């Protein structure tokens, strides 16, 4: 290099040489010189320069005249050889004929194309049933850019003076070659391993509860290694191509979960907390222990393990509770109010109930069929998140107008406008009776309520799901709740004289509360939930004695 030394000018006169040089410069105006590098066993053109765009100003007649004097001064005679003539055009001397600067400037785009970063292997799923793959390609680095600039400039000048010959110059990554560059290798690719990263079953985005971050979704992808290898071998280095694949997109993508995580209120339910101070403390404690609980799609929540054991060592206080049909003070009394409130919220969120047992007696803080009892060792309340998105339980214990309440809210992602109403069907009622039991522990004629009464009920519960426009979408049987009756027991002190005192009015045992000296309610019992639909918060709910259907929305 330069290639123009092969041009033949020997034996020409000064006039002939000037004419030949003029012809070649004219031919160069429409020519292009391409520059290539070796990629494997083949050449890849990386850049090209239109010779006519190079602003070279050459006076061919003056060049021939000047070089004639240069050659004579060197004792070689006039144009003794063509090589001598062309070589003189490139020689540095005070009478430089062709400036190198325009050609070196034209070399800049070639240098920019020559120096490049490696193209690393990439594989990704497209929006179609295809896998996009980019074949790796080594990069190139020019250690001495100025030297490379001069060498490429000389090649352009030689082609310009040679009439556009040659058409292509190959640059090599040989450290000993002119205009050499260094190869920057791309990372080695293991196609089998890269395929394994992409293929697999579809996975919905979920929530990492421990680390509080979203676990990305993954499409279900299937394609063969043979197809990938064949397409990879056929592709040029750095080329991006596609491979057909079977693709199943996730129902919940990472982007969808990021936008909708715990965004919506699925439901909420509120009940009023009554009874002894210890009962208030227990309800508050259970609320604190279940709030913040998170269920990913398909997960279940068991209430018992979160709140038990019901012991003083676990923070619980004594409060009235049921034991063998009796109302007694027990550690953890009232803990079932949170489970009942949660159960109601779960119903109105249209979630799946795994297990639930009603109380032995009807609860006065929540409607029939909406309660759920829990005890250490069972029974248990459990529900499943049958939505596609994570759900968070938020339990709040608060005071309003000097009354305590527990409110449970389920946070998740609404994907439709559906809502739920709960229908209860009263199947039967079992009235309580009043028992008078004589005792020596009371003064003659003195009376005391030993056991408060409960009416027994059998109730069927149905879950009605409606579309946003009020259209009934489904009505599903939920459960049958059987509540036992319990008689009122009144202790009466034995009379010393069996003679009936005519001044004491007779008591009708069939009419509750007819005895003005006997209280009609258990002073330790809780008050009615003011949030129960259709219930006057100042009155005990009236339970009809004949079967009927009633539909309720969630208590706010």
Dihedral sign of CA atoms 149, 152, 158, 162 in order? negative
Residue 181 pLDDT level (bands cut at 50, 70, 90): confident
- List b or e across 339-357, with b for residues whose CB sees 16 or more CB atoms inside 10 angstroms: bbbbbbbbbbbbbebeebb
pLDDT at 528 over 70: no
Sheet holding 549-552, edge to edge: 472-483, 456-466, 419-430, 549-552
> Which one, of 66, 75, 73, 72, lies nearest residue 17 by Cα?
66
* pLDDT for res 44: 87
- pLDDT average, residue stretch 157-162: 86
What's the CA gap between 483 and 363, in Å, rounded? 9
pLDDT at 162 over 90: no
354 and 503 inside one domain: yes
412 and 266 inside one domain: yes
Please indicate whether residue 90 or residue 363 has the higher confidence score (pLDDT): 363
**Residue 250 to residues 201, 212, 264, 388, Cα–Cα distance (Å):** 9, 21, 21, 10
Which region among 3-7, 98-102, 244-248 has the lowest average model confidence (pLDDT)? 3-7
Domain count, the chain: 2
What's the CA gap between 133 and 436, in Å, rounded? 89
160 and 279 inside one domain: no
From the number of C-beta atoms within 10 Å of its C-beta (0-12, 13-18, 19+), residue 418 rates as: middle
Strand 220-222, strand 246-248: pairing: antiparallel
pLDDT at 7 over 80: no
Residue appearing with tokens 């509080």: 212
Q: Which domain holds residue 78?
A: 3-116+145-178
Task: Give the CA count within 13 Å in the CB-facing half-sphere of 490.
Answer: 20
154 and 278 inside one domain: no
pLDDT at 368 over 90: yes
Residue 173 pLDDT level (bands cut at 50, 70, 90): confident
Identify whether 227 is part of a domain: no
Summarize the chain as % helix, strand, coil (round to 5).
25, 30, 45
pLDDT at 512 over 50: no
Identify whether 250 is part of a domain: no
* pLDDT for res 71: 58
How many Å from the N-terminal Cα to the C-terminal Cα in the chain? Answer: 90
279 and 403 inside one domain: yes
What's the CA gap between 43 and 72, in Å, rounded? 43
> Which one, of 319, 340, 503, lies nearest residue 408 by Cα?
340
Q: How would DSSP label each residue in 40-62?
A: TTEEEEEEEEEGGGS-----HHH
Residue 265 pLDDT level (bands cut at 50, 70, 90): very high
Residue appearing with tokens 């509360």: 513
Q: How would DSSP label each residue in 241-293?
A: EEEE-EEE--SS-HHHHHHHTT-EEEEEEEEEE-S-HHHHHHHHHHHHHHTT-
* pLDDT for res 522: 35
Do 368 and 362 form a contact (C-beta atoms < 8 A)?
A: yes
Instruction: Quick: pLDDT tens for 440-475.
Output: 999 999 999 999 999 999 999 999 999 999 999 999
pLDDT at 297 over 60: yes
Token pair in block for residue 138:
């080594």
366 and 458 inside one domain: yes
Which region among 91-95, 396-400, 474-478 has the lowest average model confidence (pLDDT)? 91-95
**Strand partners for 323:** 326
pLDDT at 514 over 50: no
**Residue 80 to residues 6, 14, 76, 184, 506, Cα–Cα distance (Å):** 15, 11, 6, 47, 154
Token pair in block for residue 313:
């060592």
Identify whether 200 is part of a domain: no
Do 471 and 436 form a contact (C-beta atoms < 8 A)?
A: no
Token pair in block for residue 236:
């040029």
Identify whether 314 is part of a domain: yes
Q: What is the DSSP letter of 63?
A: H
Dihedral sign of CA atoms 328, 333, 337, 342 in order? negative
Task: For residue 306, give every residue at least 6 positions away whose Cβ sits within 8 Å of its Cβ, in sequence order, or none.
Answer: 289, 290, 293
396 and 525 inside one domain: yes
Which region among 76-85, 170-179, 283-292, 436-445 has the lowest average model confidence (pLDDT)? 76-85
Do 214 and 258 form a contact (C-beta atoms < 8 A)?
A: yes
Dihedral sign of CA atoms 113, 118, 121, 127 in order? negative
Identify whether 246 is part of a domain: no
Mean pLDDT for the chain overall: 84
pLDDT at 545 over 50: no
What's the CA gap between 202 and 218, in Å, rounded? 5
Token pair in block for residue 14:
């000064």
Token pair in block for residue 202:
């579809």
What's the CA gap between 395 and 270, in Å, rounded? 10
Identify whether 228 is part of a domain: no
3-state secondary structure 121-156: CEEEECCCCEEEEECCECEEECCCHHHHHHHHHHHH
Sheet holding 32-39, edge to edge: 42-50, 32-39, 168-171
Measured at the CA of 33, the angle between CA 32 and CA 36, to 5 degrees, comes to: 135
What's the CA gap between 486 and 360, in Å, rounded? 10
Which region among 18-27, 80-89, 193-202, 379-388 has the lowest average model confidence (pLDDT)? 80-89
Residue 179 pLDDT level (bands cut at 50, 70, 90): low
Identify whether 248 is part of a domain: no
Identify whether 422 is part of a domain: yes
Dihedral sign of CA atoms 92, 94, 95, 100 in order? positive
């Amino acid at each position: 290099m330069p290639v123009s030394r092969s041009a033949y000018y020997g034996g020409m006169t000064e006039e002939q040489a000037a004419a030949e040089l003029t012809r070649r410069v004219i031919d160069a105006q429409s020519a292009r010189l391409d520059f290539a590098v070796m990629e494997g066993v083949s050449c890849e053109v990386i850049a090209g320069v239109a010779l006519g765009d190079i602003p070279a100003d050459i006076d061919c007649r003056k060049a021939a005249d000047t070089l004639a004097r240069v050659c004579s001064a060197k004792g070689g005679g006039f144009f003794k050889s063509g090589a001598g003539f062309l070589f003189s055009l490139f020689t540095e001397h005070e009478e430089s004929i062709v400036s190198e600067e325009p050609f070196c400037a034209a070399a800049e785009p070639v240098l920019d194309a020559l120096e490049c970063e490696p193209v690393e292997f990439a594989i990704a799923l497209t929006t179609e049933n295809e896998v996009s793959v980019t074949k790796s390609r080594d990069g190139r680095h020019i250690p001495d850019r100025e030297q490379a600039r001069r060498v490429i400039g000389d090649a352009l000048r030689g082609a310009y003076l040679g009439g556009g010959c040659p058409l292509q110059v190959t640059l090599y990554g040989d450290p000993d070659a002119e205009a050499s560059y260094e190869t920057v290798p791309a990372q080695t690719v293991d196609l089998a391993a890269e395929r394994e990263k992409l293929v697999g079953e579809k996975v919905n985005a979920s929530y990492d509860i421990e680390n509080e971050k979203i676990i990305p979704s993954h499409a279900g992808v299937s394609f063969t290694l043979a197809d990938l290898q064949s397409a990879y071998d056929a592709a040029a280095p750095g080329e991006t191509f596609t491979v057909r694949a079977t693709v199943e997109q996730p129902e919940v993508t990472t982007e969808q979960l990021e936008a909708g995580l715990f965004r919506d209120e699925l439901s909420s339910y509120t009940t009023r907390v009554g009874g002894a101070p210890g009962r208030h403390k227990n309800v508050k404690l259970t609320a604190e222990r279940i709030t913040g609980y998170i269920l990913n799609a398909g997960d279940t929540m068991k209430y018992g393990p979160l709140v038990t054991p019901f012991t003083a060592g676990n923070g619980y206080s004594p409060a009235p509770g049921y034991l063998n049909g009796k109302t007694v003070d027990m550690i953890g009394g009232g803990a079932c109010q949170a489970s009942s409130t949660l159960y109601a919220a779960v119903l109105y969120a249209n979630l799946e109930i795994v297990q639930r047992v009603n109380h032995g007696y009807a609860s006065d803080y929540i409607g029939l069929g909406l309660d759920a009892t829990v005890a250490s060792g069972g029974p248990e309340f459990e529900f499943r998140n049958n939505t596609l998105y994570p759900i968070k339980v938020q339990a709040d214990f608060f005071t309003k107008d000097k009354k305590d309440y527990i409110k449970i809210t389920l946070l998740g992602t609404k994907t439709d406008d559906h809502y739920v109403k709960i229908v209860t069907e009263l199947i039967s009622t079992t009235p309580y009776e009043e028992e008078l039991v004589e005792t020596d522990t009371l003064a003659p004629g003195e009376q005391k309520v030993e056991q408060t009464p409960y009416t027994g009920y059998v109730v069927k519960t149905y879950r009605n799901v409606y579309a946003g426009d009020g259209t009934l979408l489904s009505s599903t049987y939920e459960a049958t709740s059987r509540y036992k009756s319990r008689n009122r027991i009144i202790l009466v002190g034995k009379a010393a004289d069996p003679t009936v005192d005519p001044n004491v009015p007779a008591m009708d045992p069939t009419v509750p509360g007819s005895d003005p000296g006997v209280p009609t309610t258990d002073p330790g019992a809780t008050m009615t939930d003011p949030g129960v639909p259709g219930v006057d918060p100042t009155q005990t709910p009236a339970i009809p004695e004949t079967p009927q259907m009633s539909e309720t929305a969630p208590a706010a």
